[in-house]
């Protein structure tokens, strides 16, 4: 089987729509071959995704509409994109939209077959994706795509609907598009490390997800959105928002989603922060065949950093991620001894007699690959819908988070069927209305209490 076939069949197994042979309506790109793009959520990643969209080399692209809830975010993003891409950015003031309805207005200014980028905090994903489907827009949406069970069920249904309409949908788990990881997957499938017997992944950094008391002059809702990593309704917390990538890449390499999670975690040094996160998480995920993935997350100043994923096989071991997401620097070793690389200071890698294979450097960014692949699928009308696997990855992240937050073993079915929807009225928010999370009488937001709150996380 060729590498591409292996990768494709594995993707199908993990949930990407396998639609070949099904008659689908062809959603055309604009007549003149230019694919028009709208950006909703103009922060760091949204702007980065727009840069990637405008940088594809397989045909012309143009940014034509932008939407955000914060004027400065939109203006800064516009200035950056305009200065870098000049005529490829055609967003006059009448196509720059602000407020909770801005996403609708931006999408309503587009034509069927155009593309919308959803770069807001995850809570808004299902609301905005529903409208994109109604408008016949291809979509790129950042991960996570859901933060709890009820929104995952909703997203899975929306994914089916978008596939029926032949809409191409990318989800920002860009590592799946990294050629170094794809080649590693192929080698693992071909048995180069034997059977996978254990996996390990670490995302340990110097902090994140804090929320000092709200300053004067900003509404509670605007504050929570601006600090979305701090609040479970908005992002799923640092667990979902940060750790999903490695949980996803390990599950991809393993060829299955974990069926249950057993986890610990705690709050040590939150200082004056009122967020809902723990400082440390340690999760044991179990795959259907009993194999474990051990994931450690820590957000703590002064402690050791590591941001890497590993697979251990019966006949060798593999590095899936070395230093963050890119470059992947995927490698295979004889035996189980993998040299530790925790910072760029450790590069270049020392000579190692156990090294069997390493992907050649330098590598192209997976953030660019995911856009090249999406635009290619749109232009060639190839089946391309990553919603199911994106929703499942988000759910599996929520499963580990809920296990740590409740102190219980949580299964895939339990998290999928857990009725706790963190922000049931997220589609009805207004600028001056209440936030989905309220301060308690103690002046603090509710936090998880493992062993005390066991059916819901807060
Ligand atoms: N794939 C990756 O490696 C990667 C990296 C970074 C971020 N992300 C994801 O991208 C998303 C955004 O993260 P970020 O770091 O860019 O955050 P950010 O705060 O920089 O950007 C979010 C933007 O969305 C805007 N926004 C919030 N609610 C909105 C609404 N209802 N309508 C319109 N605009 C709204 C905010 O004002 C802000 O400009 C998150 O889901 C995050 O997980 C992915």
- Note the pLDDT of residue 23: 54
Question: Which mutation among 39, 44, 100, 174 tests ligand 1's pocket best, with the greatest number of atoms within 8 A of CB?
Answer: 44
Q: Determine the distance separating the centroid of ligand 1 and the alpha carbon of 350, expressed in angstroms.
A: 38
pLDDT band at 342 (very low <50, low <70, confident <90, very high): confident
- Note the pLDDT of residue 348: 87
In angstroms, the CA 28 to CA 224 distance is: 39
Helix (H, G, I), strand (E, B) or coil at 23: coil
In angstroms, the CA 230 to CA 192 distance is: 41
pLDDT tens sequence across 254-296: 999 999 999 999 999 999 999 999 999 999 999 999 999 999 9
Among 271-280, 340-349, 382-391, the range scoring the smallest mean pLDDT is 340-349
The chain-wide mean pLDDT, for the chain, equals 93
Interacting residues of 386 by C-beta distance below 8 A, sequence separation 6+: 16, 169, 170, 171, 173, 176
* CB 371 less than 6 A from any atom of ligand 1: no
Which atom from ligand 1 is nearest to the alpha carbon of 120? 24
Are 86 and 24 in contact, with CB atoms under 8 Å apart?
no
Helix (H, G, I), strand (E, B) or coil at 32: coil
- Note the pLDDT of residue 403: 98
In angstroms, the CA 415 to CA 395 distance is: 7
Report the CATH fold assignment for 3-175+368-395: Rossmann fold (3.40.50)
**Domain definitions of the chain by residue range:** 3-175+368-395, 178-364
pLDDT tens sequence across 192-209: 999 999 999 999 999 999
Residue 16 has pLDDT above 60, yes or no: no
- Note the pLDDT of residue 25: 59
Among 23-32, 187-196, 235-244, the range scoring the smallest mean pLDDT is 23-32
Write the burial class of residue 39 (CB in 10 Å: 0-12 exposed, 13-18 middle, 19+ buried).
Answer: buried
pLDDT tens sequence across 73-128: 999 999 999 999 999 999 999 999 999 999 999 999 999 999 999 999 999 999 99
Q: How many CA atoms lie within 13 A of 294 on its CB side?
A: 6
Number of residues in the chain: 458
The strand ranges marked E within 300-421 are 306-313, 316-321, 331-333, 355-358, 410-411
Residue 309 has φ and ψ, to the nearest 5°, of -135, 140
Angle ∠(3,367,188) on CA atoms, nearest 5: 30
* CB 209 less than 6 A from any atom of ligand 1: no
* Percent of the chain surpassing pLDDT 90: 90
Question: Which mutation among 38, 39, 41, 127 tests ligand 1's pocket best, with the greatest number of atoms within 8 A of CB?
Answer: 41
Interacting residues of 330 by C-beta distance below 8 A, sequence separation 6+: 180, 181, 183, 184, 318, 319, 320, 322, 358, 359
Residue 19 has pLDDT above 50, yes or no: no
Report the CATH fold assignment for 178-364: Dihydrodipicolinate Reductase; domain 2 (3.30.360)
Q: Determine the distance separating the centroid of ligand 1 and the alpha carbon of 10, expressed in angstroms.
A: 29
């Amino acid at each position: 089987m060729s590498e591409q076939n292996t990768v494709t069949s594995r993707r199908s197994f993990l949930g990407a729509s396998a639609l070949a042979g099904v008659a689908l309506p062809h959603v055309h790109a604009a007549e003149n071959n230019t694919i028009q793009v709208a950006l909703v959520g103009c922060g760091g990643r949204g702007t980065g995704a727009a840069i990637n969209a405008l940088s594809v080399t397989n045909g012309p692209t143009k940014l034509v509409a932008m939407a955000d809830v914060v004027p400065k975010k939109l203006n800064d993003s516009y200035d950056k994109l305009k200065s870098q891409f000049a005529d490829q950015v055609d967003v006059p003031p009448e196509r720059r939209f602000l407020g909770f309805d801005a996403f609708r207005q931006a999408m309503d200014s587009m034509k069927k077959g155009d593309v919308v980028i959803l770069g807001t905090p995850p809570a808004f994903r299902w609301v905005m994706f529903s409208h994109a489907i109604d408008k016949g827009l291809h979509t790129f949406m950042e991960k996570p795509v859901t933060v709890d069970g009820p929104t995952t069920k909703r997203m899975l249904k929306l994914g089916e609907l978008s596939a029926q309409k032949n809409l191409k949908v990318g989800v920002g788990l860009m590592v799946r598009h990294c050629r170094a990881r794809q080649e590693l997957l192929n080698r693992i499938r071909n048995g180069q490390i034997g059977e996978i017997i254990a996996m390990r992944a670490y995302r340990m950094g110097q902090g994140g997800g804090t929320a000092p008391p709200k300053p004067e002059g900003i509404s509670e809702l605007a504050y929570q959105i601006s600090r979305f990593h701090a609040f479970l309704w908005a992002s799923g917390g640092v667990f979902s928002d940060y750790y999903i990538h490695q949980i996803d890449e390990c599950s991809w390499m393993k060829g299955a989603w974990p069926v249950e999670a057993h986890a610990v975690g705690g709050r040590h040094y939150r200082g004056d922060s009122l967020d809902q996160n723990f400082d440390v998480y340690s999760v044991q995920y179990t795959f259907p065949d009993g194999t474990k993935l051990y994931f450690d997350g820590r957000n703590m100043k002064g402690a050791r950093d590591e941001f890497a994923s590993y697979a251990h096989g019966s006949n060798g071991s593999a590095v899936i991620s070395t230093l963050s997401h890119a470059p992947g620097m995927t490698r295979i070793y004889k035996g189980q001894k993998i040299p530790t690389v925790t910072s760029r200071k450790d590069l270049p890698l020392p000579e190692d007699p156990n090294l069997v294979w390493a992907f050649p450097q330098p590598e192209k960014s997976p953030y660019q690959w995911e856009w090249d692949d999406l635009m290619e699928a749109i232009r060639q009308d190839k089946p391309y819908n990553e919603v199911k696997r994106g929703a499942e990855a988000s759910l599996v992240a929520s499963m580990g988070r809920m296990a740590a937050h409740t102190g219980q073993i949580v299964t895939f079915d339990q998290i999928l069927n857990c009725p706790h929807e963190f922000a049931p009225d997220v589609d009805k928010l207004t600028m001056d209305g209440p936030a989905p999370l309220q301060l308690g009488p103690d002046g603090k937001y509710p936090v998880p209490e493992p062993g005390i709150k066991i059916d819901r996380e807060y």
